[in-house]
């Protein structure tokens, strides 16, 4: 086995994991998400307003019909009033007419409130309808920027994978299998050199005696840091 040949492989693996992290954390991703969210919320608001405007139109029509019914009833009572002479009947009709007047006035108030609301909604809708196309193009631009950032990282990842295949081809199968096994069990270094008397993986000092022992088992599965268990190049 030859542990030194694993060092460049580990470097490229490190680069691959950095690239995966970069791909997941692209600033363009947050921008694209935010632009889409702004567009979705404007569109939802637009739909909500359009629905409410439709409801108001229906309600106003209903009040208008009811108003015409009251008008007809009132006209009928007023014409009856002309031919009635008994005081009690006159008073009864007058009472009916004043009830109708009060009902009509409530209808008119309700209709006015609805028409006011409708006007505010129409203004809000007009503002939204101006902003939606802008939000749409911002969302498209942000999605395009994200796609291009992703394809740039993907190109780097593909290049790093090619490099990894090339490097792995130069490593003996046994060392490679051992490296993969150690790597799968740790998030820190799988293989390291001794740098200035310390393990390059965990930076713990390795005594001259320990180093002498390690040299005896160099490039074997036993050549490991006594502290972090990474493979040591000695």
> Which one, of 229, 220, 216, 163, lies nearest residue 190 by Cα?
229
Distance, CA of 89 to CA of 85 (rounded, Å): 7
Q: Counting Cβ atoms within 10 Å, is residue 175 exposed (0-12), middle (13-18) or buried (19+)?
A: buried
Q: How many C-beta atoms surround the C-beta of residue 148 within 10 A?
A: 10
CB of 201 to Zn ion, least distance (A): 4
Contact pick of 5, 182, 201, 214 for Zn ion (by CB under 5 A): 201
Distance, CA of 75 to CA of 107 (rounded, Å): 17
Contact pick of 199, 214, 223, 234 for Zn ion (by CB under 5 A): 199
| Number of amino acids touching Zn ion (CB under 5 A) | 6
Q: Does 13 bind Zn ion (CB under 5 A)?
A: no
CB of 154 to Zn ion, least distance (A): 34
What is the distance in angstroms between the CA of the first residue and the CA of the last residue of the chain?
A: 12
Whole-Å CA distances, 20 to 57, 88, 89, 227: 54, 93, 91, 29
Q: Does 193 bind Zn ion (CB under 5 A)?
A: no
CB of 230 to Zn ion, least distance (A): 5
Contact set for Zn ion, span 67-96 (CB under 5 A): none
Distance, CA of 201 to CA of 230 (rounded, Å): 7
CB of 171 to Zn ion, least distance (A): 21
Per CB under 5 A, the segment of 9-17, 66-74, 154-162, 222-230 that binds Zn ion is: 222-230
Contact pick of 107, 202, 218, 220 for Zn ion (by CB under 5 A): 202
Q: Does 225 bind Zn ion (CB under 5 A)?
A: yes
Contact footprint for Zn ion (CB under 5 A): 199, 201-202, 225, 227-228
């Amino acid at each position: 086995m030859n542990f030194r040949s694993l060092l460049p492989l580990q470097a490229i693996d490190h680069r691959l994991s950095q690239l995966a992290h970069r791909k997941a954390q692209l600033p363009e991703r947050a921008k694209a998400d935010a632009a889409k969210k702004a567009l979705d919320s404007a569109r939802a608001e637009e739909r909500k307003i359009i629905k409410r405007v439709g409801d108001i139109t229906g309600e106003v029509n209903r009040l208008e019909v009811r108003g015409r019914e009251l008008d007809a009833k009132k006209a009928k009572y007023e014409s009856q009033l002309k031919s009635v002479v008994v005081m009690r009947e006159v008073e009864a009709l007058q009472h009916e007419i004043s009830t109708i007047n009060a009902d009509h006035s409530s209808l008119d108030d309700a209709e006015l409130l609805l028409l006011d609301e409708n006007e505010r909604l129409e203004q809000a809708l007009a503002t939204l309808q101006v902003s939606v196309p802008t939000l749409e193009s911002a969302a498209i631009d942000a999605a395009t920027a994200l796609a291009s950032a992703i394809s740039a990282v993907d190109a780097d990842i593909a290049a790093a994978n090619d490099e990894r295949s090339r490097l792995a081809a130069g490593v003996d199968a046994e060392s490679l299998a051992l490296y993969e096994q150690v790597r799968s069990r740790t998030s820190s270094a799988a293989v390291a050199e001794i740098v200035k008397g310390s393990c390059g993986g965990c930076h713990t000092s390795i005594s001259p005696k320990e180093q002498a022992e390690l040299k005896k088992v160099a490039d074997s599965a036993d050549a490991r840091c006594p502290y972090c268990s990474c493979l040591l190049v000695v």
